[in-house]
Amino acid sequence: MKERLPLIALIEATKNSQEWIQEFEKLNKIISQAEFYQANEIFVSLKYGCQEIIQQKQYSCLDNNQLFYVGNWYSPRSLYSLIDNLGKLLKITKLTEELRLLLLEEFDICLEWLREQGYDTSLIPESLSDNFQDETKDKRTDIQKIRDKETGILGEEFVYDKLKKIYKEKYSASEEDIEHTNLGFKLKNIEVIWNNKNGESYENHDLKIIKQCKYIKNNKLINTREYFIEVKSTTTGESEGGDIPFRLSSNEWKLMFNLDTSYYIARVFNTKNDSPNIKLIKLEKKELKTMC
């Protein structure tokens, strides 16, 4: 938590370095005096005499300077459930969305975002910034990284197979009608490319659909239209995982913002079950401009 305090102090105090130092010291004092407890389960109940009237399961609870939470502190799901109580602890309840981003993203990405929003990140001493960037490296264990990678591969494979099924039905085609390529398949006027089919490609999207069609753009004849898909997968169901935030890298974000064609995020749930399901999020440049 302490490694994020320089960033949080910046959005609370933006006038000068002295104001930033005062805010940082205040936040640091609060965290130093706070007590954090990890629990298997948290229940908040209301009792009247010996009778329990209400019992509600929660993922975090704040009692004065004691913060109780369920799960792994570095898990996005755990941090997501902690946001409101962390805001109350730090006395910054009006900056819930900003705090959510500063806790869930990597330090250098947060710095970039703050600059884009007009904050003067030079108020944070360079030595302090460098130290905290080192401390905020990926803290997942090797097992967690392997599991996350497996989840991602399963999600991409499911979307790829789903696209194949959709186009086979659309064109009343059989498996023999499909032309398999190194990274995907072709059918009629459609080509589907799965960038990570043969291993991690580190591209800024996972799948691309190329459709052969003619249209006019800027007084030029265009022969193809491209659609980009980024797959974000989770082993949980939509009811549990629908509110869990997922991360877009800076390269993925830039592609999404700069495209003239459609960009889709395929949110895949229940990747390790027999029947995963997909929620498609369609984003276009005009919508992203509204968001920014």
Instruction: State pTM to two decimals.
Output: 0.52
Looking at per-residue confidence, does 22 or 257 come out higher? 22
Which tokens in the block code for residue 56?
């509600």
Domains of the chain: which residue ranges? 2-135, 142-291
pLDDT of 209-235, one tens digit each? 999 988 787 788 888 889 999 999 988
What count of other Cβ atoms lies within 10 Å of the Cβ of residue 257?
A: 14
Mean pLDDT throughout 261-270?
Answer: 86
Closest CA to 110 of 120, 118, 101: 101
More confident: 64 or 101: 64
Q: Where are the beta strands (DSSP E) in the chain?
A: 35-39, 42-48, 51-58, 60-63, 66-70, 179-181, 184-187, 190-194, 207-217, 220-233, 263-269, 277-283
Nearest one of 164, 163, 114, 126 to 12, comparing CA atoms = 114
The pLDDT, as a whole number, for residue 290 is 39
Phi, psi of 153 (to 5 degrees): -65, -45
Tokens of 16: 């000068």
What pLDDT score was predicted for residue 55? 54
Asked whether the predicted pLDDT for residue 289 surpasses 60, the reply is no
Tell me the β-bridge partners of 187.
Answer: 190
Angstrom distances, CA of residue 172 to CA of 167, 186, 216: 8, 14, 29
